[in-house]
Amino acid sequence: MPAAKPLSLVQQLRGAGRLAIDATHGLTDLVEAMHAGVARLPGQVPAQRQGGIGGLVYRSVHGITTLVGGGVDATLRGLEPLLTRPGTSSPRAEALLAALKGVFGDHLAASGNPLAIPMQLRREGRPLQAAPPAAGPQPLVLIHGLCMNDLQWRHGDADLAADLAALGYTPLHLHYNSGLHISNNGRELARLLERLLEAWPVPLQDLTLIGHSMGGLLARSALHHAGAAGLRWPRRLRRLVFLGTPHLGAPLERGGQQLQLLLGLSAYSRPLVALARRRSAGIQDLRWASLREEDWGRRSLLPLPAGVDCYAIAATTTKNPDGLPARLLGDGLVPLSSALGQHREAARSLRFPPGHQWVLAGAGHLALLQHRAVRAKLREWLSPR
């Protein structure tokens, strides 16, 4: 399977430099707008741009920023052939890049920034060029969440992929730009899985998907797009596992939306709305768990796929999973009801079978990736019968 080349050190520096230049432009616009709001007379409509000497200063900042940014980018581009070392990247650098893509991923893609890598399947942190050696009849794809990457499924001796490989699965990791719309990533994942199954070297028995947090929403979106396009891989899907997936949305993103509205009430704080709105499309989609383009800004009502064994694991930071704090706080990011798809209206509920849902008490959102109890539960659910 064709895969994108790993980013070299110079490409990463170029991407980060261009992002910094864009941030400088945005901050300059923000300061100029606030200046206009403070300087205006009562009753006047605030101007977005300054005139006179003030306007000259702000235009000069923009011009110098563009000039410096172009020079840095050109210099690094010239050094790239000399300094490129494919495949050299540390877990810490990968984590930083994943966080940048989660927050600014849509901007990186729209501006052609080198950090906006295409979606790809990986093994051991390296792009999958072809079917993995000793590929078995049961491929399993692990899909990370917002601001994360494929390396974060493993920590020390905790390795979910290795656990499931011992059961006969062939694990692969999805690596993607989590700042894009979930629906855009879902469509691309649907195509990627179709190509994967077409290139699989042995007769394929079934396919399993495991999604953590946003990754679970991405899997559901991919199923929708695959059905609309008439793709074949959903007929091979047998198991779909969600770990801390906000099926009913994430309250923290709703809090960000409320902050944005509050900032807009005052002429002095109104310029800050642009900063609050800078949350990526992927983050904003988490507000209502929007899975399709037509769902942007509202909750999707897609049911669980028929004929697929679907499982959900939630977590609570409290020791008592039945108390009110556990229900409200959940794992710190996703409430219990959202992770289990439980809504007071039956039409909005996902209806996981009782034996296909489980709650981990005394753990947070990220613990679902490596917790020994979670790994044991998945081995129980996914063991051959």
Residue 108 is predicted with a pLDDT of: 76
Is pTM beyond 0.85 here?
no
Instruction: Supply 132's token pair.
Output: 């993995």
Topology adopted by domain 120-252+282-382: Rossmann fold (3.40.50)
Q: Is the pLDDT of residue 132 over 80?
A: no
3-state secondary structure of 186: helix
**Is the CB of residue 115 less than 8 Å from the CB of residue 12?**
yes
Q: Which helix (H) or strand (E) holds 142?
A: strand 139-143
Mean pLDDT along residues 280-293: 88
Instruction: Name the pairing type of β-strands 170-175 and 207-212.
Output: unpaired
Q: Is the pLDDT of residue 26 over 90?
A: no
Please report which confidence band the pLDDT of residue 16 belongs to, taking 50, 70 and 90 as the band edges: low
- Separation CA 129–CA 121 (nearest Å): 9
Chain segment 250-275, per-residue pLDDT in tens: 876 444 444 344 434 444 434 444 44
Please report which confidence band the pLDDT of residue 112 belongs to, taking 50, 70 and 90 as the band edges: confident
Strand order in the sheet with 139-143: 126-127, 120-123, 170-175, 139-143, 207-212, 237-243, 309-316, 357-361
49's CB contacts (< 8 A; 6+ apart) are 32, 36, 55, 58
Q: Is the pLDDT of residue 27 over 50?
A: no
Q: Best-predicted range by mean pLDDT among 89-98, 147-156, 177-186?
A: 177-186
| Bridge partner residues of 237 (DSSP) | 207
Higher pLDDT, 364 or 110: 364
Mean pLDDT along residues 319-324: 81
Chain segment 322-381, per-residue pLDDT in tens: 877 777 778 888 999 999 999 888 888 999 998 999 999 999 999 999 999 999 999 999
Residue 141 is predicted with a pLDDT of: 98
Mean pLDDT along residues 29-45: 44
**Percent of the chain at pLDDT exceeding 90:** 43
Chain segment 154-208, per-residue pLDDT in tens: 988 899 999 999 999 999 999 999 989 999 999 999 999 999 999 999 998 999 9
Q: Is the pLDDT of residue 72 over 80?
A: no
Q: How far is CA 337 from CA 109, 215, 324, 330, 331, in A?
A: 33, 18, 12, 8, 11
Mean pLDDT along residues 79-97: 57
Query: Where do the domains of the chain lie?
Result: 9-88, 120-252+282-382
Q: Supply the DSSP string of 264-296, one letter for each residue.
A: TTSTTTTTHHHHHTTS-HHHHHTTTT--SGGGT
Higher pLDDT, 238 or 50: 238
**With the CA atoms of 188, 192, 193 and 195 taken in that order, what torsion angle do they form, in degrees rounded to the nearest 10?**
140
Please report which confidence band the pLDDT of residue 98 belongs to, taking 50, 70 and 90 as the band edges: confident
- Separation CA 46–CA 31 (nearest Å): 13
Please report which confidence band the pLDDT of residue 308 belongs to, taking 50, 70 and 90 as the band edges: very high
Q: Is the pLDDT of residue 50 over 70?
A: no
- Separation CA 259–CA 78 (nearest Å): 43
Q: Is the pLDDT of residue 301 over 50?
A: yes
Residue 282 is predicted with a pLDDT of: 86
Please report which confidence band the pLDDT of residue 279 belongs to, taking 50, 70 and 90 as the band edges: low
Q: How far is CA 189 from CA 68, 154, 234, 266, in A?
A: 38, 22, 12, 42
Residue 377 is predicted with a pLDDT of: 97
Please report which confidence band the pLDDT of residue 215 belongs to, taking 50, 70 and 90 as the band edges: very high
- Separation CA 227–CA 234 (nearest Å): 8
Q: Is the pLDDT of residue 310 over 80?
A: yes
Angle of helix 182-199 versus helix 214-229 axis, rounded to 10: 70
User: Backbone phi, then psi, for 155, in 5-degree steps?
Assistant: -145, 110
**Percent of the chain at pLDDT exceeding 70:** 69
Closest CA to 128 of 193, 172, 179: 172
Residue 145 is predicted with a pLDDT of: 93
Residue 188 is predicted with a pLDDT of: 98
Please report which confidence band the pLDDT of residue 60 belongs to, taking 50, 70 and 90 as the band edges: very low
Please report which confidence band the pLDDT of residue 287 belongs to, taking 50, 70 and 90 as the band edges: confident
Mean pLDDT of the chain: 77
